């Protein structure tokens, strides 16, 4: 179980998280929705310990991540996989080397076995034949899928996805949603997914959390969200702008 | 500005401690290290050869023009050799390396940070200190003395070429005076300086890279600053080290 307690964070004088409280149950898929620039990526980075909060704590079962230093976080991070919003592939390595990276770094496998698992991972994310390319020659969607393969290849217990379907065509986006659902079911991963794609959200989510004005505004099931009459949720769900932007 | 300098110095010290601790507590990434050695050590040879060779040559020519009038042409040998070993070799080499290696480290690290590759590395449970910083640091600190030694040798060789075949100084006297007045200590001082300059170039490059601002402008600034600041620190500290080392190894 992941517990987030009263997380506060300001960057460059701007308050981004203003007391986020959240509990993620082991094995569930939690979708985080919220406006662009609302701090969803920042929240994910706090969950991995990549950013330090101004106040508040993040607990994994009995461990307080916030109190650990970089080196002490290593064992915890080995159980996590993160798909960054822009992929964050290592641009000095080929796609295959990127995907093999966690295996090469963390596990003592034979080269053959690594190659097999990388080939299988490429096939699953639909990138067979692109393994020898450099990340800079991939499209945005392909980068994201390669990043997904890299994050999941070590079979972590917890997966974090930052907008995994943004910028993909509807068909690919559906297949990525199915892949996320499958990873969660078959390998019983806990998944935290940030997305704007409401179709994908309702398809994969056990629960949906809405991050609004630096707090968790609502935490409910997809069915409850559909039925909700709350104005903030309703507007977000149906994409209604109140004219407050532009 | 003073406050900023104090803070940067503090940060660099922590960085240094972190790197040294990693060196002794974690296995070295040989692949990364050798790649960096290739880039820093081998690929810098050309510019070092050119720098050392031509500075030795021009220094010899200028010295000879004057010394010949005084009838002490063969004294040029030791003067050039001592200057190459103690000052010109290490300093010019360090300035070139600051421009080539320090700035490329800063550019690489700041781009990686900007594109979240550093975060990705941390998220994959690989500390950047171990994977990126230590191999670069070691490569620079080890290659600088080697490259400086190379530039000393080439500078002295170039000096001989200018003096003996071109300006017709007596070769036998030139060599014997050079070996008579140059001591191993001169080379030693140059190499000690080289190690310190290597340390400065590596740490400034890494520090600027990790603390770059946002966007392309941030990367550009980090890159220039890495080269400029390292060069300035090298020039200033060289002055003090010359006195210090002279006190330790008196003439
Ligand atoms: N490294 C950073 N430096 C400065 N501001 C940042 C940084 N990262 C995020 N922010 C700011 O934090 C806010 C939230 O960003 P983010 O978490 O990326 O939003 P999103 O919900 O779209 O993922 C934005 O206003 C952004 O400007
Ligand atoms: Mg985001």
Q: Are A21 and A6 in contact (CB under 8 A)?
A: yes
Q: What is the gyration radius of the CA atoms in chain A, in angstroms?
A: 18
Q: Ligand 2 center to residue A130 CA distance, Å?
A: 26
Give the span between the Cα atoms of B230 and B203, in whole angstroms. 9
Q: Give ipTM to 2 decimals.
A: 0.92
Higher per-residue confidence, B207 vs A228: B207
| Domains: count for chain B | 1
Give the span between the Cα atoms of B240 and A88, in whole angstroms. 44
Mean pLDDT of A90-111: 91
Q: What is the pLDDT of residues B99-115, one digit of tens each?
A: 999 999 999 999 999 99
Give yes or no for residue A40 CB within 6 A of ligand 1. Answer: yes
Residue B217 placed within a domain: yes
Q: What is the pLDDT of residues A106-144, one digit of tens each?
A: 877 888 999 999 999 999 998 999 999 999 999 888 999
* Interfacial residues of B (vs A; Cβ cutoff 8 Å): 115-117, 119-127
Contact A77 B124 (CB under 8 A): yes
Answer yes or no: is pLDDT of B178 > 90.
no
Q: What is the pLDDT of residues A32-48, one digit of tens each?
A: 999 888 999 999 999 99
Residue B3 placed within a domain: no
Residue B169 placed within a domain: yes
Q: What is the pLDDT of residues A52-69, one digit of tens each?
A: 999 999 999 989 999 999
Residue B146 placed within a domain: yes
Q: What is the DSSP letter of B216?
A: H
pLDDT band at residue A245 using 50, 70 and 90 as cut-offs: low
3-state secondary structure of B207: helix
Q: In what order do the strands lie in the sheet with A63-64?
A: A14-24, A2-11, A55-60, A63-64
Mean pLDDT of B29-55: 94
Closest CA to B117 of A56, A152, A86, A128: A86
Give the one of B116, B126, B127 whose C-beta lies nearest to A88's C-beta. Answer: B116
Answer yes or no: is pLDDT of A243 > 70.
no
Contact A77 B123 (CB under 8 A): yes
Residue B13 placed within a domain: no
Residue B131 placed within a domain: yes
Residue B38 placed within a domain: no
Give B201→chain A minimum CA distance, Å.
Answer: 23
Torsion sign over Cα B61, B63, B68, B71? negative
Answer yes or no: is pLDDT of B6 > 80.
yes
Give the one of B116, B117, B125 whose C-beta lies nearest to A78's C-beta. Answer: B125
- Mean of pLDDT over chain A: 91
pLDDT band at residue B62 using 50, 70 and 90 as cut-offs: very high
Q: What is the DSSP letter of A137?
A: G
Closest CA to A219 of A49, A34, A8, A26: A34
Residues 6+ apart with CB under 8 A from A84: A147, A162, B116, B119, B120, B123
Answer yes or no: is pLDDT of B153 > 80.
yes
Answer yes or no: is pLDDT of A193 > 60.
yes
Rounded to 10 deg, the angle between the B30-37 and B134-161 helix axes is 30
Burial class of B223 by CB neighbour count within 10 A (0 to 12, 13 to 18, 19+): buried
Give yes or no for residue A13 CB within 6 A of ligand 1. Answer: no
Residue B165 placed within a domain: yes
Answer yes or no: is pLDDT of A80 > 90.
yes
Q: What is the DSSP letter of A84?
A: B
Structural tokens at position B249:
């190894």
Q: What is the gyration radius of the CA atoms in chain B, in angstroms?
A: 21
Give the span between the Cα atoms of A193 and A38, in whole angstroms. 15
Closest CA to B40 of B150, B106, B155, B138: B138
Answer yes or no: is pLDDT of A9 > 60.
yes
* Chain mean position to CA B126: 29
Q: What share of chain A is helix, strand, coil (3-state, %, to 5)?
A: 40, 25, 35
Domain span holding position B177: 45-243
Chain A residues touching B126 at Cβ < 8 A: 105
Percentage of chain A with pLDDT > 70? 98
Answer yes or no: is pLDDT of A16 > 90.
yes
Give the span between the Cα atoms of A182 and A30, in whole angstroms. 14
Give yes or no for residue A38 CB within 6 A of ligand 1. Answer: yes
Contact B117 A88 (CB under 8 A): yes
Give A234→chain B minimum CA distance, Å.
Answer: 34
Answer yes or no: is pLDDT of A246 > 60.
no
Mean pLDDT of B40-56: 94
Q: How many CB atoms lie within 10 A of CB A59?
A: 16
């Amino acid at each position: 179980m992941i517990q987030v307690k009263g997380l506060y964070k300001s960057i460059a004088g701007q308050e981004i998280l203003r007391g986020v409280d959240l509990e993620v149950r082991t094995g569930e898929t939690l979708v985080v929705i919220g406006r662009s620039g609302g701090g969803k990526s920042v929240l994910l980075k706090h969950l991995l310990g990549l950013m330090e909060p101004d106040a508040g704590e993040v607990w994994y079962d009995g461990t307080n991540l916030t109190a650990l230093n970089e080196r002490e976080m290593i064992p915890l991070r080995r159980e996590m996989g993160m798909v960054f919003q822009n992929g964050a592939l290592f641009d000095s390595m080929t796609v295959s080397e990127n995907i093999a990276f966690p295996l090469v770094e963390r596990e003592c496998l034979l080269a053959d076995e690594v190659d097999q698992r990388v080939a299988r991972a490429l096939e699953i994310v639909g990138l067979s034949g692109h393994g020898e390319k450099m990340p800079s020659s991939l499209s945005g969607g392909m980068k994201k899928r390669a990043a997904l393969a890299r994050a999941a290849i070590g079979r972590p217990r917890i997966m974090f996805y930052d907008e995994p379907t943004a910028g993909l065509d509807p068909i690919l986006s559906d297949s990525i949603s199915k892949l996320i659902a499958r990873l969660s079911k078959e390998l019983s991963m806990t998944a935290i997914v940030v997305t704007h794609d409401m179709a994908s959200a309702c398809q994969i989510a056990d629960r949906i959390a809405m991050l609004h004005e630096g707090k968790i505004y609502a935490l409910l099931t997809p069915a409850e969200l559909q039925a909700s009459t709350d104005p903030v949720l309703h507007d977000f769900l149906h994409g209604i702008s109140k004219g407050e932007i532009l | 500005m003073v406050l900023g300098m104090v803070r940067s110095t503090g940060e660099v010290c922590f960085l240094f401690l972190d790197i040294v601790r990693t060196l002794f507590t974690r296995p070295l990434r040989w692949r990364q290290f050798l790649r960096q050695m290739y880039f820093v050590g081998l690929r810098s040879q050309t510019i070092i050869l050119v720098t050392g060779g031509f500075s030795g040559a021009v220094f010899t020519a200028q010295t000879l023009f004057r010394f010949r009038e005084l009838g002490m042409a063969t004294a040029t040998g030791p003067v050039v050799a001592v200057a190459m070993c103690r000052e010109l070799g290490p300093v010019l080499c360090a300035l070139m390396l600051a421009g080539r290696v320090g700035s490329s480290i800063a550019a690489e690290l700041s781009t990686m940070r900007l594109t979240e590759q550093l975060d990705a590395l941390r998220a994959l449970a690989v500390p950047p200190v171990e994977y990126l910083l230590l191999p670069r640091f070691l490569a620079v600190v080890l290659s600088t003395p080697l490259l400086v030694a190379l530039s000393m040798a080439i500078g002295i060789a170039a000096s001989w070429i200018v003096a003996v075949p071109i300006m017709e100084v007596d070769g036998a006297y030139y060599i014997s005076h050079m070996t008579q007045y140059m001591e191993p200590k001169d080379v030693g001082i140059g190499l000690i300086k080289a190690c310190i300059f290597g340390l400065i170039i590596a740490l400034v490059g890494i520090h600027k890279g990790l603390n770059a601002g946002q966007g392309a402008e941030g990367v550009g600034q980090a890159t220039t600053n890495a080269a400029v600041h390292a060069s300035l620190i090298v020039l200033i500290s060289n002055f003090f080290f010359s006195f210090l080392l002279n006190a330790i190894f008196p003439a």
